[in-house]
Amino acid sequence: MNNTGPTNSSPHLLSPFDLHGLPLRNRVVMAPLTRARAGRERVPNDLMVEYYTQRASAGLIIAEATVISEQGIGWVDSPGIYSDAQVAGWKKITTALHAVGTPFFLQLWHCGRASHSSFHGGEPAVSASAVKLNGDSIHAPNGKQPYETPRALETDEVAAVVDDYRRAAERAKAAGFDGVEIHAANGYLINQFLDSKTNQRTDRYGGSAENRYRFLKEIVEAVLTVWPANRVAVRLSPNGNFNDMGAPDFRETFTHVATQLNAFGLAYLHVVDGLAFGFHELGTPMTLTELRAVFSGPLMGNCGYTQESAEAAIASGQADLIAFGRPYLSNPDLVDRFANGWELNPPADLKVWSAPTAEGYTDFPFHQPS
């Protein structure tokens, strides 16, 4: 796991980082890519052990989005963290990564309206409000299906979902993770509460930016009963339109959210600031510089970064860490390729994301000297 080389042109990106006492060998983070290799029971398996250990030269790995409960499911064969078998499966991976000194965070996920009734015994998915996702279709257990109108969570149901996050955080600790990342981005349940486009509630969880933030606030507070603040992170996507997101007041909303999160002393704030995953075009994009003004902890950029742009972001102080997603699909040795100036493998066909086999998962080649 060589992190430096004679052609190293990224001294900042490849430098060590102290994440509140957790040593990272470099500032390259493997982003929480959603994959689909856990099977019907959503139990991490030996193929997943191989996949993550292949990519262990990252400074930090964030596990793929992992559902906190059966209610949170919205992706075929994605892993979970709500059963003892799932905990045992993840324990194999955390043990393998810790054996080579790689820190590992678990991303806690609830899909909300980005789901389908066929995942839930015919019952509708839940969301902040009964606002249908405007999209082509969803890959459901019974094949591609049109999106459906979700059911708004009742006010007295919210506390149970918050407690699901707490229990998932407990299981993540039992599985040996180094911390957890709360997925509040990309149009999933927490994002649906944050965004005024999808949150049309009139109770204490709707209306003002403060009220729309309340759900995330309660989740963070619940997770902090399990983990210290410096091992809890949050992911946001202020610019994203994935899963039909984006509201005109996005800048006000996410400035408020980042300002409030700053008070917790979190491990880091993970921001999908790049536009390569889609931009809602409702104003000029929010930047890491804007968020740095209100969030004083470690800041992680994400989405569309190259080695060069990542180096520039860290060198300038805009970011402390950069998460790479798609480059990690086809380049298990991404850090070594950066360090030595080796060419990257061709980008992976995105059809491999949800394939159930090793093909397109663990079969991408490491660099071979010529």
Q: Which pLDDT score, from 0 to 100, does residue 197 have? A: 98
Reply yes or no on whether 268 is catalytic: no
Q: Which pLDDT score, from 0 to 100, does residue 4 have? A: 39
The radius of gyration computed from the CA coordinates of the chain, to the nearest angstrom, equals 19
The first and second tokens of residue 245, run together, are: 């997101």
Do 65 and 104 contact (CB within 8 A), yes or no?
Answer: no
DSSP 353: G
Q: Which pLDDT score, from 0 to 100, does residue 5 have? A: 39
Chain position carrying tokens 């996702």: 133
Chain position carrying tokens 């993540």: 172
Q: Which pLDDT score, from 0 to 100, does residue 8 have? A: 66
Q: Where do the H-state alpha helices sit in the chain?
A: 46-54, 84-99, 158-174, 189-194, 209-223, 250-262, 288-292, 307-315, 326-330, 334-340
Q: Which pLDDT score, from 0 to 100, does residue 45 have? A: 97
Q: Which pLDDT score, from 0 to 100, does residue 201 have? A: 98
Q: In whole angstroms, what is the distance from residue 239 CA to residue 277 CA?
A: 9
Q: Which of 52, 188, 205, 328 is catalytic?
A: 188
Q: What is the end-to-end Cα distance of the chain in Å, rounded?
A: 19
One digit per residue, pLDDT tens: the chain, 370 residues? 444 333 468 999 999 999 999 999 999 999 999 888 999 999 999 999 999 999 999 999 999 999 999 999 999 999 999 999 999 999 999 999 999 999 999 999 999 999 999 999 999 999 999 999 999 899 999 999 999 999 999 999 999 999 999 999 999 999 999 999 999 999 999 999 999 999 999 999 999 999 999 999 999 999 999 999 999 999 999 999 999 999 999 999 999 999 999 999 999 999 999 999 999 999 999 999 999 999 999 999 999 999 999 999 999 999 999 999 999 999 999 999 999 999 999 988 877 766 778 988 999 999 998 7
Q: Where do the H-state alpha helices sit in 271-318?
A: 288-292, 307-315
Q: Of the candidates 7, 16, 19, which has an alpha carbon nearest to the alpha carbon of residue 268?
A: 19
Q: In whole angstroms, what is the distance from residue 217 CA to residue 20 CA?
A: 22
Domains observed in the chain: 17-354 (3.20.20.70)
Q: In whole angstroms, what is the distance from residue 30 CA to residue 188 CA?
A: 20
What 3-state DSSP class applies to 35?
A: coil
Neighbours of 135 (CB within 10 A): 13
pLDDT digits (tens, 9 = 90+) for 85-115: 999 999 999 999 999 999 999 999 999 999 9
What 3-state DSSP class applies to 118?
A: helix
Q: In whole angstroms, what is the distance from residue 311 CA to residue 180 CA?
A: 26
Determine whether 270 is exposed, middle or buried from the number of CB atoms within 10 Å of its CB (0-12, 13-18, 19+): buried
